[in-house]
Amino acid sequence: MTLNVLIVDDSPVMRSFVKRVLKMSGLETGLLLEAGDGKQALAVMQEHPMDLVLTDINMPEMNGEQLLRTLQADAVLRKTPVVVVSTDARLDRVDQMMSLGASGYVTKPFTPEGLRHEVERVLGVAHV
C-alpha cells in the first residue's frame, strides 16, 4: 500500500524531519506534501486526495484543532485519517483532539518505529 501523506506543521524543519522519518520507517510512501497551517492543508487536500494527514496543533492562521473541526464538517475530507504529532502530552489535550476526530496521537520526541506503529494502527495495516 502506497501512502499519500500531508504533513502539517508551521516549522519547516519539523516538516522535513517528519518526511525523513516516514521514509526511514519503512512505510511505502507516495506523495509527501507539506502545509504550514490548517488553511494551507485544506487547500492541498482539495487538490490532492490524501491517505493520511499528520498535523501539529499549535500553528498560525488555522491550528490543528480548527483543522480537525473543518475536516469533520466536510463529508469527503472527514474520511481522511488524521494523526496529531505534538509536544503537548496533556491527557485532556489528547482526549480533546481524539474527540474532534483525530484517529491517532504521537508525542514528540518519537522514533521512526513509534510513528510507523501509530500510522499502521490508524490505517489498520499489518505490521511488516
Give contact residues for another protein (rule: CB under 8 A).
11-14, 16-17, 20, 58, 87-94, 107-111
Smallest CA-to-CA distance from 18 within 64, 103, 76, 86 is with 86
Euclidean distance between CA atoms 94 and 88, whole angstroms: 8
Nearest approach in angstroms of CB 116 to another protein is 13
Which amino acid, 92? D
- Phi, psi angle pair for 29, to nearest 5°: -105, 145
- Choose between 108 and 121: whose C-beta lies nearer to another protein: 108
- Choose between 31 and 110: whose C-beta lies nearer to another protein: 110
Nearest approach in angstroms of CB 67 to another protein is 18
Nearest approach in angstroms of CB 84 to another protein is 13
- Choose between 69 and 110: whose C-beta lies nearer to another protein: 110
- Phi, psi angle pair for 83, to nearest 5°: -110, 125
- Choose between 47 and 92: whose C-beta lies nearer to another protein: 92
CB 16 within 8 A of CB 64: no
